[in-house]
């Protein structure tokens, strides 16, 4: 019987085991490093993601903060960027992410790693129709690729070049 | 150069987004606090009462509903409401299925019961490997699968307790005890399926996975029913499933109703009550889905098997009430 947040803990423990097993076998996702923020709680995780190539985020490492409620995985985790990023669907000062699979289209079939992969896909493929950062949204929507690219790249250089990639041994 | 003035109107966008989100959350909380996942059994008159007490200016609109409610009152005795959170079809299906299995089996007169229980239990027990063939990862779905298996174990335990009792039920005292055991089991089931963030939600989502897998397993059967989305492009089945079936809170349409019924080999009768008036017999000829003769409510049956060999199977038949956007259970 699933009592309240036991379900969340059970599922998150499984996700952690999977990540650790992949690390041991050397087949971790090379673009995502994902672990609980502290050993004391499985409800709060930190992820590092590598800016995708051929985007203005290339070369950057971005830190994400992930919080799960006790009704995870029935409800989606909340993901925010801790690293400042200039992107139409990420709030510039607060780091909130606007992504359908983290809202109405979330399904328990997704896990935290899949959610991080979706954030990476969003970096490659911004959706200017539902902007949280209107400046970035207007640039993309208005077709001013160059302005968007150079601004985003500048913020990548300014904010996302300081985090080293963890050694998974 | 950490520009804090950079965002011009995105704080507005943020505020708006937050507002809608806050409103949605408020509505969800309101529903949560005012509606149980599944209500107690209500007399069918509750249905009529709901429409006959509406304000005078809405009377006109509810006339069709009153007519339908009157018709249904002659056909059914009771109603069980299901929370209106977008999961009502799956939740109603789950509750009604469990209740049927529990009550049917403990009733000695219906001999097909235990055979039907084992058939469905086996289908469910074998379903984890089956759904994994359609792209679901065992790691993410096994908890949900296990919850449904445990629920069936619970029903089986209740049934075997009733069975043992049957052997000594020749006396009046034995029969009374049998009756009280059955009530007890039913109450336990009700409590189990009303716990928040627990059995009902977990099993409800697993039914969504079964529905999606059923559609993916037989695309020729289901693809023609998928409506075109806003771009006027046919959605393929995996896209449809990931948008409309797999997320919690997405309502169930005709295709998905059929898929779930066929997946478990269960018959589902749905009474469609859409509020349209029918004043004379001619309406029936031109009428759409909800219009029958003189206020009759039209029902549709899903999950009918055309296999001749299955004819004699004493199949479970669930009866649900549909009103626009919502399902409840009928008795």
Q: For each successive 10 residues of chain B (331 residues), what is the average pLDDT?
A: 45 61 79 87 91 69 85 94 95 96 65 79 96 94 96 91 63 74 89 93 97 95 75 79 94 92 94 74 42 70 69 78 94 95
Edge-first strand order for the sheet with B299-302 is B42-43, B78-80, B326-330, B317-323, B267-272, B299-302
Residue A166 has a pLDDT of 87
Which residue spans of chain B are classified as CATH 1.20.1300.20?
A: 88-264
Using the Cβ of A158 and the Cβ atoms of chain B, whether some distance falls under 8 Å is answered with: yes
Q: How far apart are CA B321 and CA B269, in angstroms?
A: 9
Distance in Å, alpha carbon of A130 to nearest chain B alpha carbon: 9
B291-320 per-position pLDDT tens digit: 445 568 888 899 876 555 555 466 889 999
Using the Cβ of A153 and the Cβ atoms of chain B, whether some distance falls under 8 Å is answered with: no
Domain architecture of chain A: domains with CATH: 6-159 (3.10.110.10)
Burial B7-45, CB ≥16 within 10 A → b, else e: beebbebbeebeeeeeeeeeeeeeeeeeeebbbeeeebe
Q: How far apart are CA B285 and CA B291, in angstroms?
A: 9
Confirm if B318 and B267 have CB atoms less than 8 A apart.
yes
A88-139 per-position pLDDT tens digit: 999 999 999 999 999 999 999 999 999 999 999 999 999 988 899 999 999 9
CB contact under 8 A, A3 and B198: yes
Strand partners, A32: A49
Burial A11-45, CB ≥16 within 10 A → b, else e: bbeebbeebeeeeeeeebeebbbbbbeeeeebbeb
DSSP assignment, residue A165? P
Confirm if B87 and B249 have CB atoms less than 8 A apart.
yes
Residue B208 has a pLDDT of 98
DSSP assignment, residue A100? G
**In which band, very low, low, confident or very high, does the pLDDT at A11 lie, cut at 50, 70 and 90?**
very high
Edge-first strand order for the sheet with A32-38 is A32-38, A41-50, A61-67, A78-81
| Number of other CB atoms surrounding residue B48 within 10 Å | 17
Asked if residue A13 has a cis previous peptide bond (ω within 30° of 0), the answer is: no
> From A84, which residue of chain B is nearest by alpha-carbon distance?
B2
Residue B116 has a pLDDT of 87
3-state secondary structure labels for all residues of chain B: CCCCCCCCCHHHHHHHHHHHHHHHHHHHHHHHHHCCCECCCEECHHHHHHHHCCCHHHHHHHHHHHHHHHHHHHHCCEEECECCCCCHHHHHHHHHHHHHHHHHHCCCCCCCHHHHHHHHHHHHHCHHHHHHCCCCCHHHHHHHHHHHHHHHHHHHHHHHHHHHHHHCCCCHHHHHHHHHHHHHHHHHHHHHCCCCCCHHHHHHHHHHHHHHHHHHHCHHHHHHHCCECCCCCECCHHHHHHHHHCCCCCCCCHHHHHHHHHHHCCEEEEEECCCCCCCCCHHHHHCCCCCCHHHCCCEEEECCCCCHHHCCCCCCEEEEEEECCEEEEEC
Tokens of B197: 């963030």
Which of B141, B147, B250 is the closest to A109 by Cβ? B141
B7 CB neighbours in chain A (<8 A) are 91-93, 133-135
Alpha carbons within 13 A on the beta-carbon side of B177? 14
Confirm if B331 and B78 have CB atoms less than 8 A apart.
yes
Tokens of B46: 């509750």
Residue B59 has a pLDDT of 64
Tokens of A38: 């502290």
B302: which residues sit within 8 A by CB, 6+ positions away?
A: B257, B258, B261, B262, B267, B268, B269, B270
The superfamily (CATH) of domain B37-81+266-331 is Peptidase C65 Otubain, subdomain 1 (3.30.200.60)
Residue A50 has a pLDDT of 96
Question: CA A45 from chain center: how many Å?
Answer: 11
Which of B136, B143, B249 is the closest to A10 by Cβ? B143
CB contact under 8 A, A105 and B243: yes
Strand partners, B330: B79
Residue B100 has a pLDDT of 93
ipTM of the modeled complex: 0.89
Mean pLDDT of A20-32: 92
**Domain B88-264 carries which CATH code?**
1.20.1300.20
Interface of B with A (CB under 8 A): 1-2, 4, 6-10, 12-14, 17, 136-137, 139-141, 143-144, 147, 150, 192, 195-199, 201-202, 205, 209, 242-243, 246-250
A18 in active site: no
Which residue spans of chain B are classified as CATH 3.30.200.60?
A: 37-81+266-331
Strand partners, B321: B271, B328
């Amino acid at each position: 019987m699933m009592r309240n947040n036991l379900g969340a803990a059970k599922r998150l423990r499984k996700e952690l085991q999977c990540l650790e097993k992949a690390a041991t076998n050397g087949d971790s996702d090379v673009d995502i490093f994902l672990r609980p923020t502290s050993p004391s709680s499985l409800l709060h995780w930190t992820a590092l993601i590598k800016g995708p190539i051929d985007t203005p985020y290339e070369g950057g490492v971005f830190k994400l903060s992930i919080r799960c409620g006790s009704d995870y995985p029935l409800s989606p985790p909340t993901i925010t960027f801790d690293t400042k990023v200039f992107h139409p669907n990420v709030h510039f000062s607060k780091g909130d992410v606007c992504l359908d699979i983290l809202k109405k289209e979330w399904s328990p079939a997704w896990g935290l790693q899949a959610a991080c992969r979706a954030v990476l896909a969003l970096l490659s493929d911004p959706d200017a129709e539902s902007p949280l950062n209107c400046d970035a949204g207007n640039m993309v929507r208005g077709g001013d690729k160059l302005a968007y690219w150079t601004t985003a790249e500048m913020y990548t250089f300014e904010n996302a070049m300081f985090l080293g990639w963890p050694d998974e041994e | 150069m950490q520009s804090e003035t950079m965002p011009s109107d995105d704080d507005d966008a943020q505020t708006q987004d937050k507002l809608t989100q806050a409103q949605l959350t408020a509505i969800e909380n309101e529903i949560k606090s005012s509606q149980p996942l599944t209500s107690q059994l209500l007399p069918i008159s509750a249905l009529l009462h709901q429409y006959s007490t509406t304000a005078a200016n809405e009377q006109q609109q509810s006339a069709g509903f009153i007519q339908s409610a009157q018709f249904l009152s002659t056909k059914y005795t009771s109603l069980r409401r299901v929370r209106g959170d977008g999961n009502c079809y799956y939740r109603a299906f789950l509750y009604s299925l469990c209740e049927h299995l529990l009550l049917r089996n403990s009733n000695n007169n219906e001999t097909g019961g235990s055979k039907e229980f084992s058939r469905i239990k086996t289908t469910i027990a074998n379903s984890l490997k089956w759904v994994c063939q359609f792209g679901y990862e065992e790691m993410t779905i096994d908890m949900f699968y296990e919850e449904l298996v445990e629920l069936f174990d619970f029903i089986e335990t209740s049934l075997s307790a009733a069975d043992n009792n049957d052997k000594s039920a020749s006396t009046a005292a034995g029969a009374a005890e049998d009756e009280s055991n059955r009530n007890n089991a039913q109450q336990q089931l009700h409590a189990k399926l009303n716990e928040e963030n627990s059995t009902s939600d977990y099993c409800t989502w697993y039914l969504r996975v079964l529905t999606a897998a059923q559609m993916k397993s037989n695309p020729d059967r289901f693809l023609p029913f998928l409506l075109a989305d806003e771009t006027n492009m046919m959605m393929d089945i995996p896209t449809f499933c990931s948008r409309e079936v797999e997320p919690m809170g997405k309502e169930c349409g005709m295709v998905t109703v059929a898929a779930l019924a066929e997946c478990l080999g269960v018959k589902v009768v749905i009474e469609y009550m859409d509020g349209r008036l029918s004043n004379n017999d001619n309406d029936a000829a031109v009428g759409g889905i909800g219009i029958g003769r003189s206020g009759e409510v039209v029902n549709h049956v899903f999950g009918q098997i055309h296999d001749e060999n299955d004819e004699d199977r004493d199949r479970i038949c669930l009866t649900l009430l549909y009103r626009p956007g919502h399902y409840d259970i009928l008795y």
